[in-house]
A and B are shown apart, each in its own frame.
Chain A
Amino acid sequence: MDRETRDMLLETADRFFTERCGRDVVNGVEKGIWPADLWKEIEEMGLPLIAVPEDKGGVDGTFADMLALLRLAGSHAVPVPLAETALANLLIAAAGGEPKPGPATLALGTLSLSGGRVSGKVERVPFASVADRFVVVAGNTLAVVARDNVEIDDTPTHAGEPYGTVSFDNAASELSGASAVSAERAVELAAVMRAMQMAGAADKVLATAVEYCKQRVQFGRPISTFQAIQQMLAELASYVAATIASAEAAARDADEGGLGDGGSFSIAAAKSQASEFAQRIAAIAHQSMGAMGFTHEHILHHYTRRLWVWRRDFGSETFWGAKIGAAYAKAGPDALWVSLSGSKYAA
Chain B
Amino acid sequence: MSIPKLEFPPFHLPAEAEALREEVRAFLKETLPAVKSEDRFPSWNTRSPEFSRAMGKKGWIGITWPKKYGGSERSFLERYVITEELLGNGAPAGAHWVADRQSGPLLLRFGNEEQRQAILPRITAGECYFSIGMSEPDSGSDLASVRTRAEPVPGGFRVNGTKVWTSGAHKNHYCIALVRTSGQHGDRHKGLSQLLVDLKTPGVTIRPIINLAGRHDWNEVTFSDAFIPESCLIGDEGDGWLQVTSELAFERSGPERFMQNFYILRELVRVLGRQPATRAAAILGRLVARLWTLRQMSVAVAGMMQGGKSPAIEAALVKDLGTIYQQDLPEIARTIAESDATTEEDMADFLDVAQYATMMAPSYTIQGGTTQVLRGIVARGLGLR
A268 to B3: give the CA distance in the assembly, Å. Answer: 30
Task: Identify which of A240, A244, A321, A340 gathers the most chain B CB atoms within 10 Å of its CB.
Answer: A321
Any B CB within 8 A of the CB of A309: no
Which stretch in B149-157, B202-210, B223-231, B290-298 binds the other chain?
A: B290-298
A62 to B380: give the CA distance in the assembly, Å. Answer: 37
Contacts of A305 in B (CB 8 A): none
Partner of A317, one of B7, B21, B286, B320: B286
Partner of A336, one of B269, B283, B300, B383: B269
Partner of A325, one of B270, B285, B291: B285
- Given A244-B8, A341-B84, A341-B88, also A207-B3 (CB < 8 A): yes
A238 to B300: give the CA distance in the assembly, Å. Answer: 15
Any B CB within 8 A of the CB of A104: no
Any B CB within 8 A of the CB of A127: no
* Residues 306-347 (chain A) with a chain B CB within 8 angstroms: 317-326, 328-330, 332-333, 336-337, 340-341, 343
Question: A337: nearest residue on chain B (CB-CB)?
Answer: B88
Type the 1/0 row for B106-138, where 1 means its CB is closer than 8 Å to any CB of A. Answer: 000000000000000000000000000000000
Contact-residue bracket for chain A: 35 or more
A343 to B288: give the CA distance in the assembly, Å. Answer: 10
A226 to B348: give the CA distance in the assembly, Å. Answer: 47
* Residues 192-247 (chain A) with a chain B CB within 8 angstroms: 203, 206-208, 210-211, 213-214, 224-225, 227, 229-231, 233-235, 237-242, 244-246
Please state if A317 and B289 are interface contacts (CB–CB under 8 Å). Answer: yes
Any A CB within 8 A of the CB of B375: yes
* Residues 197-224 (chain B) with a chain A CB within 8 angstroms: none
Please state if A214 and B317 are interface contacts (CB–CB under 8 Å). Answer: no
In the complex, number of A-B residue pairs with CB atoms less than 8 Å apart = 186
Please state if B282 and A318 are interface contacts (CB–CB under 8 Å). Answer: yes
A77 to B383: give the CA distance in the assembly, Å. Answer: 25
Contacts of B372 in A (CB 8 A): 231
Type the 1/0 row for A260-286, where 1 means its CB is closer than 8 Å to any CB of B. Answer: 000000101110110010000000000
A268 to B281: give the CA distance in the assembly, Å. Answer: 14
- Given A230-B379, A328-B284, A337-B89, also A249-B289 (CB < 8 A): no
A249 to B272: give the CA distance in the assembly, Å. Answer: 29
Any A CB within 8 A of the CB of B378: yes
Any A CB within 8 A of the CB of B249: no
Any B CB within 8 A of the CB of A248: yes
Partner of B281, one of A207, A253, A326: A326
Please state if A325 and B283 are interface contacts (CB–CB under 8 Å). Answer: yes
- Given A330-B274, A332-B274, also A252-B10 (CB < 8 A): yes
Task: Return A115 CB to nearest CB of chain B, in Å.
Answer: 36
Contacts of B317 in A (CB 8 A): 237-238, 241
Partner of B288, one of A237, A251, A325: A325
Type the 1/0 row for B370-385, where 1 means its CB is closer than 8 Å to any CB of A. Answer: 0010111011001111
* Residues 278-336 (chain B) with a chain A CB within 8 angstroms: 278-286, 288-297, 300, 314, 317, 320-321, 324
Contacts of B275 in A (CB 8 A): 326, 329-330
A337 to B283: give the CA distance in the assembly, Å. Answer: 17
Contacts of B297 in A (CB 8 A): 241-242, 245
Any A CB within 8 A of the CB of B368: no
Please state if A248 and B274 are interface contacts (CB–CB under 8 Å). Answer: no
Please state if B292 and A325 are interface contacts (CB–CB under 8 Å). Answer: no
Partner of B285, one of A239, A266, A272, A333: A272
Please state if A233 and B321 are interface contacts (CB–CB under 8 Å). Answer: no
Please state if B6 and A268 are interface contacts (CB–CB under 8 Å). Answer: no
A28 to B385: give the CA distance in the assembly, Å. Answer: 38
Number of interface residues of B (CB under 8 A): 58
Which stretch in B45-53, B237-245, B260-268 binds the other chain?
A: B260-268
Any A CB within 8 A of the CB of B9: yes
Task: Return B11 CB to nearest CB of chain A, in Å.
Answer: 9
Contacts of A224 in B (CB 8 A): 384-385
A230 to B3: give the CA distance in the assembly, Å. Answer: 14
Contacts of B290 in A (CB 8 A): 242, 273, 276
Task: Identify which of A234, A244, A317, A322 gathers the most chain B CB atoms within 10 Å of its CB.
Answer: A234
Task: Return A84 CB to nearest CB of chain B, in Å.
Answer: 24
A233 to B1: give the CA distance in the assembly, Å. Answer: 16
Contacts of B269 in A (CB 8 A): 328-329, 332-333, 336
Please state if A233 and B384 are interface contacts (CB–CB under 8 Å). Answer: yes
Please state if A323 and B285 are interface contacts (CB–CB under 8 Å). Answer: yes
Contacts of B7 in A (CB 8 A): 244
A266 to B297: give the CA distance in the assembly, Å. Answer: 13
Type the 1/0 row for B344-385, where 1 means its CB is closer than 8 Å to any CB of A. Answer: 000000000000000000000000000010111011001111
Contacts of B267 in A (CB 8 A): 333
A227 to B375: give the CA distance in the assembly, Å. Answer: 10
A333 to B278: give the CA distance in the assembly, Å. Answer: 18
Question: B8: nearest residue on chain A (CB-CB)?
Answer: A245
Contacts of A203 in B (CB 8 A): 5-6
Please state if A320 and B285 are interface contacts (CB–CB under 8 Å). Answer: yes
Any A CB within 8 A of the CB of B273: yes
A276 to B280: give the CA distance in the assembly, Å. Answer: 16
11 contacts between A and B (CB under 8 A): A203-B5, A230-B384, A231-B372, A241-B297, A242-B321, A268-B289, A270-B293, A276-B289, A326-B281, A330-B274, A336-B266
- Which 9 interchain pairs have the tightest Cβ spacing? A325-B281, A325-B285, A324-B285, A321-B285, A234-B375, A245-B8, A230-B379, A325-B284, A234-B378
* Interface positions of A (Cβ within 8 A of B): 203, 206-208, 210-211, 213-214, 224-225, 227, 229-231, 233-235, 237-242, 244-246, 248-249, 251-253, 266, 268-270, 272-273, 276, 317-326, 328-330, 332-333, 336-337, 340-341, 343
Given contacts A237-B382, A252-B10, 4 further A-B pairs with CB under 8 A are A234-B376, A241-B314, A269-B292, A340-B291
